[in-house]
């Protein structure tokens, strides 16, 4: 098993950034509506976008947590579908990747 301590540290930093981003999004969504009806319509549209961003952040948070768990249990860097090692370049680009490029391509990821 390779030493992935630096990757783990980077993933934890990424997780903290994502948690901060999600907290800001949640705060913005919960902001009271403007008394102006037209402004409320704009806020509603903005909240839809923020909700989508929040959903994406929650998904990424889950993927980062799973990657940290794979490091901890010795499964990091192995494709979760076929079991082959995930390429170093892929892990460098997407450190929370759980699939090799072949499986990710077939899965449409």
pLDDT(47) > 50? yes
Average pLDDT over residues 13-38: 92
Task: Check whether 66 has a pLDDT greater than 80.
Answer: yes
pLDDT for the residue 68: 97
Expressed in angstroms, the distance from the first to the final Cα of the chain is 26
1 — pLDDT class (breaks 50, 70, 90)? very low
* Residue listed under structure tokens 């948070």: 61
Average pLDDT over residues 59-65: 98
Q: Which long-range contacts (CB under 8 A, 24 or more apart) does 82-85 make?
A: none
* DSSP secondary structure letter of residue 99: S
pLDDT at 93: 94
The set of residues, in sequence order, having a beta carbon less than 8 Å from that of 20 and lying 6+ positions away, is none
Give the single-character DSSP code of 30: T
């Amino acid at each position: 098993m390779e030493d992935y301590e630096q990757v783990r540290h980077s993933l934890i930093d990424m997780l903290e950034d994502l948690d901060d981003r999600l907290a800001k999004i949640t705060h913005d969504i919960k902001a009271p509506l403007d008394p102006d009806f037209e402004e409320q319509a704009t806020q509603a549209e903005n909240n839809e976008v923020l909700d989508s961003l929040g959903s994406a952040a929650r998904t990424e948070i889950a993927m980062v947590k799973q990657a940290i768990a794979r490091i901890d249990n010795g499964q990091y860097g192995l494709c979760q579908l076929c079991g082959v090692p995930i390429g170093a370049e892929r892990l460098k680009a997407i450190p929370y990747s759980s699939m090799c490029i072949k499986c990710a391509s077939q899965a449409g990821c």
